[in-house]
Amino acid sequence: MKIAPSILAADFANLASDVARVAPEADLLHVDCMDGHYVPNLTIGPPVVAALRRHTDLFLDCHLMVDNPAVLLPAFADAGADGVTVHVELGDPRPLLDGIRALGMRPGITLEPETPFDAVEPYLGEVGVLLVMSVRTGFGGQAFIPEVLEKVRAARRIVDERGLDLEIEIDGGIKLDNAHLAAAAGADVLVSGTGIFHQDDPAGAARRMREVAVAARAAAR
């Protein structure tokens, strides 16, 4: 089980120190990049990834919620992004996935809560991560949508049957009280923003989340 704190919920004016606080309990850092077009919110992009890169060795897991990822991929690579995940809702993802790989980053694909699993199934053998959204993209702090767990289970079955080298990541509304559901369904990576950074002890929250998830996964096996 891996924990990926989402810096969307961190203090952007104190990003380095917020990241340093959670780093001992984090496996990746989830970076939500929104362009004000694909979603009605505007966040951060390659300059902030480059700044983060100078402060951490953690895997920088960039979730692109932008209309035109292709124009930004070289900048993300130059900034030091480790992985880039793109939305299947934008259309045929293959050119983007090829571009991400060609730039030396790990390609990922993601889908909105209302998008059926069939939309991503053809690409599972071509990506390093499937990101299952458990809230509609755009904002942190929304309520977890439990119905998406069916997609996590479907992905888990395929990964296990085919022996795919694919991580299943879940993003949105993950907190200490529902992390067990995601882990039991088969998620490998839990993204959590407010569930970590808005807690009194962010590192402790991440640590407990991992413990809960590890126990739930072991019990589900």
Q: Which residues bind ligand DX5 (CB under 6 A)?
A: 6, 8-9, 30, 32, 63, 135, 137-138, 140-142, 171-174, 191-195
Binding to Zn ion by CB under 5 A, coded x per residue (else -) over 113-152, reads ----------------------------------------
Given 25, 32, 82, 169, the residue binding Zn ion (CB under 5 A): 32
DSSP-assigned beta bridge partners for residue 4: 191
Residue type, 2: K
The two structure tokens encoding residue 77 = 């690579």
Q: Give the count of residues interacting with Zn ion (CB under 5 A).
A: 3
Stretch of 98-106, 156-164, 167-175, 209-217 lying at the interface with Zn ion (CB under 5 A): 167-175
- Catalytic residue, chosen from 32, 61, 82, 188, is 32
Q: Rounded to an integer, what distance in angstroms lies between the CA atom of residue 12 and that of residue 35?
A: 17
Residue 143's nearest CA partner among 154, 133, 153, 130 is 133
163-175 burial, b if ≥16 CB within 10 A, otherwise e?
Answer: ebebbbbbbbbbb
Q: Rounded to an integer, what distance in angstroms lies between the CA atom of residue 166 and that of residue 42?
A: 29
Cβ closest to ligand DX5, residue 105 vs residue 158 = 105
Question: Residue 202 CB, nearest distance to ligand DX5 (Å)?
Answer: 12
Given 171, 173, 185, 212, the residue binding Zn ion (CB under 5 A): 171
- Catalytic residue, chosen from 18, 61, 82, 171, is 171
Q: Would residue 177 show up in a list of annotated catalytic residues for this protein?
A: no
DSSP-assigned beta bridge partners for residue 172: none
Window 51-80: residues binding Zn ion (CB under 5 A):
63
Cβ closest to Zn ion, residue 63 vs residue 151 = 63
For residue 125, count other CB atoms closer than 10 A to its CB. 11
With CB under 5 to 8 Å by kind, the binding choice for 167 among Zn ion, ligand DX5, none is: none
Question: Residue 95 CB, nearest distance to ligand DX5 (Å)?
Answer: 23
Q: Would residue 160 show up in a list of annotated catalytic residues for this protein?
A: no
Tokens 């590890």 sit on residue = 214
Please give the backbone phi and psi of residue 63, each rounded to the nearest 5 degrees, phi first. -100, 110
Q: Rounded to an integer, what distance in angstroms lies between the CA atom of residue 26 and that of residue 107?
A: 20
- Alpha carbon 19 to its chain centroid, in Å, reads 16
Q: Mind telling me the catalytic residues?
A: 32, 171
Positions touching Zn ion (CB under 5 A) are: 32, 63, 171
